[in-house]
Structure 1
Amino acid sequence: MRTSMRTAGTLVRIGLAAGRSTPGDRLRWWSLFGAALALAFVTLATVATLATYDGRETRADARGAVITDGKHGALLYREGADSVGSRPVSVLFLHLLTPKAPVPAGVSRWPEPGEVLLSPELLRTGRSEGILTRYGSFAGTITADGLVTPSERIAYVRVADAPPKDDDRWMHVAAFGAGGGATGEMADQKPATSTLLALWSLTGLPTLALTVVAARVGSRSRDRRSGLLQALGGTWRHRMIVNVGEAAFPAALGTLAAFVPYAVASVRDIRLGPTGYILDHRDVWDAWPTAAGAAVVSLLAVLGIVVGTHRVHRDGRSTRPASFTSRVPAWRLLVCGIGVALVLTSQYVPQRAQLAVFTCGTIVMWAFLSSVVALLTRHLGSWLANSGKRKGHAGRMIGGRWTHAHPGVIVRLALAMVIGIGIVAQMQVWTSRLGVHSQAAVATHQRIKDTVIQLTTGGMTAAQTDRFRSSLPAGSLLLTRAFHDPGPGKDPWVTIAGSCRDLRTLHVACPADTKPAAATSPQVQEMRRWYGNVEFAQVPHVTVKPDSTESLLVVTPEPGQLTAVKQAAYTLPNPSVQVETLGGNWLGSSRAHLANWIQLFGITGILFILVAGAVSAAAECVRIRHALAPLSVLTGHRRVFRSVSSWHLTVPLLIATVLTGAVTAWHSVFFISLVQEGSVSWTVLAAGITTCAVVSLTVGFLGARAAAREADQWRPAAD
């Protein structure tokens, strides 16, 4: 036992010394540090995500309303909706039936009639839009205990007058805190699995690629050391201890460094730009024990990848390492095929599982597609070597033999480009999935801004609408919109009614007009796009029936007056009014904001994959400069550096770029046909392919340049 411990200690010291003395040791040290930091960062982000979901559910339960019948109700409660900018706002209208009505979490006491409580984020973002007086007099803020997240926009409005008894939209509430509530940010919450799937698809996969690349930096010396240990009778345990000793120090420091952002997020709320979401520090703080365990798992994963990428033949008959340098393991190709199969079969599984199966297949395919590229380039290398030998082309022969003998180099270099193009393509396709209505809303906003505003309210008399008209911005038009459904077999239509003066302003003819109206205004054209079959009618006075079949339309003379219209609308007798621009509910939908989360995860993943590509290219420059330097003595000129570097690096990477571009195009088109929405930007894909082609040329140029510089000072050594 004592001998085993002494041997293990010696092997650990050998590993520590090897980490400080191998060629490119600083590059390997920092690459392992960065890879461990990145993997721990994503792992801790996973812990924070799960903790946030748990905290959201707990706080939603604490404020959830307990609905009851009229006999046991302590207050009347109605949910409404509004928006500040393009962000949705949850407005909760209240009318107390007893002075001792219960309050939800986050509220110490109910405001007086006509007053309102606002969440801090709503107060901050809506101050410029008159949120302090929109629903009533500002009476205070809701504390953090009553908010699902600090970024939630929610308001409790105590109405000044009792609501109508026949309005069944008001619910009787007996208490708060006995169940969940679908208000605020909980109204359209996606499951945690969706968030984690996006996180690991766009950020986790590049992190794993960075870890694999970092583990193989300077692998030539470690492969030789592993072979020597085996020749001396060492087992896989001895080799593992040496490799772990070499990588443990930078990996442990990188893992500890990942706790810095986690620690900051656990003591103060962090806004996740560009999403605008604020991470609640209390949830992150409560998850510290889980985070510590997850960090240990992350560190073990890094060390496991280091050990797993440095193996020798198991039969013991050869000291040559079996790390991926001389051939492409068949299991890698099989796993890539499984990923493609998952993508293809995702259309045949139940609809709820289609996206999950497709995403899993995508991750597997992108992770192992570079192995397919390496297999092709390995065969290409053999052909190049034979061609160069026949024609006496030294650079082509040497470059071809290197490519045939070291396909793992191509895998590591191509891995960054393959995953990078895949992430860029997926970001573009996912952000194009706004849906037909959201795309139409964006187009409408671009054409007419917010000049057409819809108001959904209860019944209004002519006197009430006249009073409302007087509070609108000068020059505004007031119309009514009525929906007609004639029944099966007939097309529904919409009637828009107003005074002749208002209709003529929109270039719509009145019945009494003898001259045809001019071309209709852009506002009328947008109404037809959204409402379909539209008929216009002239009425002497604008009124709204209380049966919810009619609503109001306000057309402002210029954009930017939505705030003033909302201010006027919320002074109406019916407090449950809902105000939005034409198609505005689709502008503020969760799907419209999905692009922000895709950008957050995707850009972070691209940064990690850029680091992986830079590390891989730098490591190859370190290797190739030592290997190529003696050729200047044998050939007598330096052109061989450019030739070998081009055939060994540039040509295989260009092949990888073309193959990746073709697979990405197929993958994107397949995804759109699967979800039946979105579009492929061929410009973005072409830009990604062009960038990778430029990178391929640059890597070859830098490799040749590094070898030429090394040749100036190369001296024979007993290596």
Structure 2
Amino acid sequence: MSGIFGLAWRLLRGGGRRGMLGSALTVVAVAVSTSLLLFAVAANLAFQGRADREAWRNPVAAARDAVAIQAVHLDHVDDRPVTVVDVAALEPGAPAPPGLARFPAPGEVWLSPALADLAKRLPANRLADRLSGKGGGLIGDAALVHPDELVAVRGQAPGSPVMTAGLAVDGHDDIAPTRISGFTGTRTDNAIGYQILALIASVLMVVPLLVFGGAAARLTVARRDQRLAALRLVGATPGQVVAMTVAEAVITAFAGAVLGAALYLLMTPLLTRIEIGGGPWFVADTWPGVLPVLAVLVVVPLLVGLSAVVGLRRVVVSPLGVAKRETPPAMRFVRVVALLAVLAVVPTLGMGAGVGVVTVVLSLAFLAVNLVGPWVVGLLGRIVAASARRPAGLLAGRRMIDDPRAAWRTVSGVALTGFVAGFIGLLTPGTGLLGQADATNLRLAVPPAKAAALSEQARERLATAGVRATVTVKAGGGRGKVLVAALGTSDVAVTDRARTALDGLVPGRSATTAADDDRSGFRILDDVRTGTVTVLAVSFLVAIASAGITAASSILDRRQTYALLHLAGTPMKVLNAARRTETLLPLAVMGGGAIAIGMFCALPFALSTMNVSGLVTLLVCVGLGFAGVAGAGAASAPLLRSVTANPAPRPD
């Protein structure tokens, strides 16, 4: 095998300047695919890491041998949520909560770095007065979802009012005091939801990446087929041809994979700034780990090599046909049948479908669109060639008929991105989905028997703090009561002072507004929009890179044909017009079709009709798609002029 690798390496080096340029295009394509594949892998692992770090705040009741009591409630400051965890040890030597060096003693308060910094910057009556107690230290990263998270851990005595209070009637984010045997906990519903969204987003990114990676193995395929067919005709065995192809593909793909891994490492500082789930990421979150990186460095070259071997059937079976440049037989209609079969399953899906089923169906729909693409391009070629009235149209039509796969590779990235845009555009939530919640009235659940006394204390506290408010008591859920402090303003500073004044009025409960209750929902909607932008940005990066690389590779594959056409008197503007037709026409048909298919796949999950945000997303995607392909064609025009300058056959 070392001899085969040596021969493949000599053939790579001996391919001339343009041959090396073709190999360089493959390296760049694999590098882009590898870096974005690592991004998708790291994103899923990062959300899993966040879910694990948050789980300790969702306690599991101990069946026996409880060692501590844990209670959790949500407070707010500066329109940001603050997670307050109260813990009390039931026996000496209780295990410390994650991120803490020891179990907090009664009266100690441990703060996350972001919360400690905020307490120093804001006036004491807005935050610090609520966190009174002995300084216990800073909470470590192991207990935080993200670096900017606001978390406080307070030590309590087992018999303190906070550890014996009941659950608030309106505190759906609060957790009543729970006897626990350790700080293991379970993942929250929100964390699981983010993991599911990350998995779906990965499918929307990874499938085009795999298609792009497979296309990378077929870059400059015509040059390689001619060379390998010649070797086959002079006596090389099919096994030797396959081995040389695998060796050449693996060499270039491995170089691209290493370059892509290095590129991903350089991007990690930027990736940590993407805010999802309330804040940015730890640097460790963006590192997928040594084993996943090594796995990608092994799998990517193998997939590229496998894809290259699949394209060798013509060389192995009929090397003379390749040498004679015979047109391969037309593709079969069964490709369309496969797509229709996948789409027939889509209406059976819905909100109740398992995430695994949805992931598989989306992946199959993606692959089916890619499978149908060359068939549609071939059909368009026959239509264009039959109806051509100008030389450019005839050249474009004949080119699409002769090699529809190559023509499809140029536009496949943008077309598949159209699928992503159609799917996401229909699901992108509108800004007014949750409406505008009230932020002027603070509410606090109170025991019915103490409602009158607590309302009087609330008036006194608010007056002492200099906050003008009207305090009333209203019926809450069931037989409960809710104290309402009408502030008459939504000014965040006034609201924070009122929260501080009411803090501790009812142990283990915090005053909140209706806007606070909806803040989690708004954050999720913002995260969906952020994820939409991220997925589309990644998809368009792949699409534009694919269009540019494959456009240049196509010119290198057909350089002798272009040169001979130009030598025969074909003007350059005709050649460029033919290139534009064979890219923009399939893009318009398959891009529009992919958008429609993506929207169809999103219908079972759509909550309402498309909103303005989704429509704008689609229009921007269409504009960027056409601009990207047109720009790729324009960027490769100098290369076309270069290859037409010398029509003489080259030795490579």
Question: What is the TM-score when the length of structure 2 is the normalising length?
Answer: 0.81
Q: Unaligned stretches of 5+ in structure 1? A: 486-546
Q: Identify the range of structure 1 (552-561 vs 143-152) with the bigger mean alpha-carbon deviation.
A: 143-152
Q: How does 1:499-510 map to 2 (within 5 A)?
A: none
1:26 to 18, 21, 24: 21
Tell me, which stretches of 5 or more residues in structure 2 are unaligned? Answer: 168-175
State the 1:259 CA deviation. Answer: 4.1
Distance 2:401 2:498 in 1: 71
1:503-535 Cα distance to aligned partner (Å, 9 max, x none): xxxxxxxxxxxxxxxxxxxxxxxxxxxxxxxxx
Match of 2:227 among 218, 225, 229: 225
Corresponding residue to 2:100 among 78, 86, 107 = 107
Q: How has the CA–CA distance of structure 1 residues 292 and 648 changed in structure 2, closer, same or farther, with 3 Å as cutoff?
A: closer
Q: 1:527-575: per-residue Cα shift (whole Å, max 9, x none)?
A: xxxxxxxxxxxxxxxxxxxx533242433435223322322232x3323
Q: Summarize the Cα distance change of 1:282–1:358 in structure 2 as closer, same or farther, 3 Å threshold.
A: closer
Which residue number corresponds to residue 444 of structure 2?
A: 455
Name the residue aligned to 1:595. 529
Task: Mark the CA change 1:199 to 1:233 in structure 2 (over 3 Å): closer, same or farther.
Answer: farther
Counterpart check, 1:465 vs 2:458: yes
The residue number in structure 1 matching 2:602 is 671
2: CA distance, partners of 1:406 / 1:718 = 22
Question: Do the aligned partners of 1:15 and 1:243 also contact (CA within 8 Å) in 2?
Answer: no
User: Is this contact kept in 2: 1:455–1:577, CA < 8 A?
Assistant: yes
Which deviations, in whole Å up to 9, do the C-alpha atoms of 1:173-225 show, x marking residues without a partner?
36424x4245xxx4632179725633432321232233133222222211212
TM-superposed CA distance for 1:118, in Å, is 1.6
CA distance in 2, matches of 1:578, 1:54: 29
**Could you tell me how far apart the structure 2 residues matched to 1:658 and 1:598 are?**
19
**AA of the residue aligned to 1:176:** G
CA gap of 1:376–1:207, structure 2 versus 1, over 3 A, is: closer
How much identity, in percent, do the aligned residues show?
A: 16
The change in CA–CA distance for 1:141 and 1:375 in structure 2 (over 3 A counts) is: same
Aligned in 2, Cα 1:247/1:21: closer, same or farther, shift over 3 Å?
farther
Give the 3-state SS of the residue equivalent to 2:314 in structure 1: coil
Look up the equivalent residue of 2:587 and give its one-letter code. Answer: L
Three-state SS of the structure 2 residue aligned to 1:353 is coil
Q: Which residue of 2 aligns with 1:163?
A: 161
SS in 2 for 1:591: helix
Q: Specify the SS of the correspondent of 2:365.
A: helix
CA distance in 2, matches of 1:362, 1:627: 40
* Alpha-carbon shift at residue 313 of structure 1 (Å): 5.6
Match runs of 1:31-46 below 5 Å: 31-36=26-31, 38-39=33-34, 41-43=36-38, 45-46=40-41
CA contact (8 A) 1:429 1:668 kept: yes
Tell me what 2:469 maps to. Answer: 476
Q: Which amino acid aligns with 1:155?
A: A
Larger-gyration structure (1/2): 1
- Which AA in structure 2 matches 1:656? M
2:573 equivalent to 1:648: no
Measured in 1, the distance between the counterparts of 2:387 and 2:286 equals 63
Task: Spell out the pairing of 1:479-518 with structure 2 (5 A cutoff).
Answer: 479-483=472-476
Distance 1:646 1:597, change over 3 A: closer
- C-alpha deviation, 1:86, in angstroms: 6.1
- Deviations 1:147-168, CA, capped at 9 Å, x for gaps: 4665654321245992189744
What do residues 355-382 of structure 1 show as CA deviations (whole Å, max 9, x unaligned)? 5434433333334425434323323323
Residue by residue over 1:658-714, the C-alpha shift from the partner in whole angstroms, topping out at 9 and shown as x without a partner, is 4334x24xx325524444346353333233224434455556666667545655x34
Shift of 1:128: 4.8
Higher RCO (C-alpha 8 Å, min separation 6): 2
> Which residue does 2:436 correspond to in 1?
444
The alpha carbon displacement at 1:411 in A equals 1.0
* Aligned residue identity for 1:453: L
Amino acid of the structure 2 residue aligned with 1:568:
A
Q: Is the 8 A contact 2:423 2:601 kept in 1?
A: no
Matched, 1:415 2:446: no
2:506 is matched with 574
2:171 corresponding residue in structure 1: none
Matched residues in 1 for 2:31 and 2:309: separation? 14
Which letter maps to 1:416? G
Contact preservation (8 Å) 2:216, 2:304: no
Normalized against structure 1, the TM-score is what?
0.74
Letter in 1 for 2:111: L
Matched, 1:12 2:8: yes
Contact kept? 2:393, 2:578, Cα under 8 Å = yes
1:136 equivalent to 2:132? Answer: yes
Aligned equivalent of 1:428, options 410, 414, 425? 425
Instruction: Decide whether the 8 Å contact of 2:35 with 2:260 is kept in 1.
Output: yes
| 1:79 Cα deviation from its structure 2 partner | 1.8
Question: Is 1:81 matched up with 2:77?
Answer: no
Task: Compare 124-133 and 219-228 and name the one that shifted more.
Answer: 124-133
- What whole-Å deviation, never above 9, does each CA across 1:612-647 have from its counterpart, x for those lacking one? 122122323445665334334434755533443344
2:281 aligns to what? 278
Q: Which is further off, 216-225 or 582-591?
A: 582-591
Please say if residues 453 and 554 of structure 1, whose CA atoms lie closer than 8 Å, have aligned partners that are also in contact: yes
Q: Secondary structure at the match of 2:219?
A: coil
Q: Residue 638 and residue 303 in structure 1: after superposition, are their counterparts in 2 closer, same or farther (change >3 A)?
A: closer
Deviations 1:443-484 (A, max 9, x none): 316xx7x33433334444143122233155544343434247
SS at the partner of 1:38? helix
1:60–1:148: 8 Å Cα contact kept in structure 2? no
1:173 maps to which of 179, 188, 196: 179
Q: Are the equivalent residues in 2 in contact too, given 1:92–1:155 (CA < 8 A)? A: yes
Alignment partners' CA distance in 2, 1:314 and 1:12: 17
